[in-house]
Amino acid sequence: MRIAGLVPFALLALAGCHREAKLSADQAWVRLPAVAGHPGAGYLTIHGGPEAERLLAVESPAAGSTELHESMKMGPGGMTGMQRLDGLDVSANGTVAFAPGGNHVMMFGLSPSLRPGGTVPFSVRFAKGPPLTVEAKVVGAGDAAPY
């Protein structure tokens, strides 16, 4: 009988433990190009918050410019190509993963001071929410992805 009387209080306490998901970004990394002067590629994972959002850009002071791109198979021969994206939808509480062979950030005019093992900041811009800053690990052209 005493336990039954405590159940409502326990449920109330547990309800207070739930936190609403917040828009965030993590697992950011940059692969340097095999040939100096060519573009590099950036990757990260974006976790949607309680409302749908639209990713507009991922920028970095380590690059002269950046563009969102998507890799895809083109034509009957299965050739791989890229297409520039003007943004990406991030669903409420959803996840958008940037990975080799898929969505990525093309990074043009990379700083020659970038070295494997270092980090660079990414500024992740959205249509409605404030920008997010995440540190991206730098890996060499032939190195394994860190995530």
Domain of 57, CATH number, reads: 2.60.40.1890
* Structure confidence at residue 5 (pLDDT): 56
In a domain, 13, yes or no: no
Domain that holds residue 107: 20-139
DSSP string, the chain: -HHHHHHHHHHHHHHTT------EEEEEEEEPPSSTTS-EEEEEEEE--SS-EEEEEEE-TTSSEEEEEEEEEETTTTEEEEEEES-EEE-TT-EEE--TTSEEEEEES--TT--TT-EEEEEEEESSSPPEEEEEEEE-TTSPP--
In a domain, 4, yes or no: no
In a domain, 31, yes or no: yes
**Residues 129-142, mean pLDDT to the nearest whole number:** 97
- The pTM (predicted TM-score) of the whole model is 0.84
User: How many domains, in total, are found in the chain?
Assistant: 1
